[in-house]
């Protein structure tokens, strides 16, 4: 390939919409405390870690007891010093199953949701 042709090809690719498109990522759940399926003593809070930086005001955690009633004491908040983590404080939790429902909006505004369960031991 000649130098002029190679340069022309490189400039054409650089101008292509595909070449200029940023790679968008989604905030997927990376860690959870308590963990999915765990049986634990009554936790004071739930802490979730994600794969991307979060828009905290657009993200949430809801924790429900076995009857479907919410047990979080306040809205989810940022974990100081970790822009990829979210936490929520809980009211006193009785023994039994709990479901954690989360919605994470990454800084590129893509929203991902999920849920998992854990159990509080008697």
Residue-wise pLDDT tens digits, 62-77: 999 999 999 999 999 9
Residues 98, 64 contacting (CB under 8 angstroms): yes
pLDDT at 8: 40
Query: pLDDT over 70 for what percent of the chain?
Result: 80
Distance CA 71, CA 79 (A): 19
Q: Note the pTM of the prediction, 2 decimals.
A: 0.79
Residues 120, 42 contacting (CB under 8 angstroms): yes
- SS3 label, residue 70: strand
* CATH-assigned architecture of domain 24-120: Sandwich (2.60)
Cis preceding-peptide flag for 31 (omega within 30 of 0): no
């Amino acid at each position: 390939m000649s130098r002029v042709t190679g340069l022309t090809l490189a400039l054409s690719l650089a101008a292509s919409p595909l070449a200029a498109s940023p790679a968008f990522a989604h905030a997927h759940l990376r860690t959870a405390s308590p963990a999915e399926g765990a049986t634990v003593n009554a936790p004071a809070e739930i802490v979730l870690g994600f794969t991307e930086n979060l828009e905290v005001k657009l993200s949430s955690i809801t924790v429900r007891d076995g009857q479907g009633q919410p047990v979080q004491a306040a809205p989810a908040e940022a974990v100081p010093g970790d822009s990829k983590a979210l936490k929520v404080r809980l009211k006193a939790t009785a023994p039994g199953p709990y479901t954690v429902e989360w919605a994470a909006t990454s800084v590129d505004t893509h929203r991902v949701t999920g849920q998992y369960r854990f159990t509080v031991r008697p």
